[in-house]
Amino acid sequence: MQVTRFLGAAALGLAALTGVARAEDNTGTVNFDNQPTLSRAEVQADLVLWRRAGLDMLAAQEDSYVVFSADYKRRMANYQQWRHGPEYLAEVQRLGGHVTTAASGQGQSSQN
């Protein structure tokens, strides 16, 4: 029974992967089916802000109801504010990158 479940899960995973078009250029960016292409610095900056907001600590908790807490909502609001504000641009630049139009979420491109 265990092997059957594993093979079923593997088949589903393979089916999902075959439907995903992957394009990678020499800058190391990857685009999956019309999703915004983000640079490594953009992804890292997003993670830094996520951690700075303390959302990584809450995600590690086993309590699945943590997303309903006032603490979670406060932390998420901080993360969203930083992610769409100058903090994100500053973090990307600190990491040696630039913010693409897709990543900025503001319809404008900023480069260092």
Task: Report pLDDT digits (tens) over 10-67.
Answer: 444 444 444 433 444 455 555 566 677 889 999 999 999 999 999 998 888 878 778 8
Q: Which domain holds residue 64?
A: 23-104
Determine the pLDDT at residue 7. Answer: 42
- Look at 104 and 43; give whichever has higher pLDDT: 43
Tally of domains in the chain:
1
Query: For residue 110, what are the β-bridge partners?
Result: 99
Q: Is 11 part of any domain?
A: no
* Contact by Cβ (8 Å): 85, 45: no
Q: Is 4 part of any domain?
A: no
Q: Is 90 part of any domain?
A: yes
Determine the pLDDT at residue 101. Answer: 58
Nearest by Cα to 78 from 88, 66, 68: 88
Rounded to two decimals, what is the model's pTM? 0.59
Alpha helices by DSSP H, listed for the chain, are 2-18, 40-52, 55-59, 70-83, 86-94, 101-104
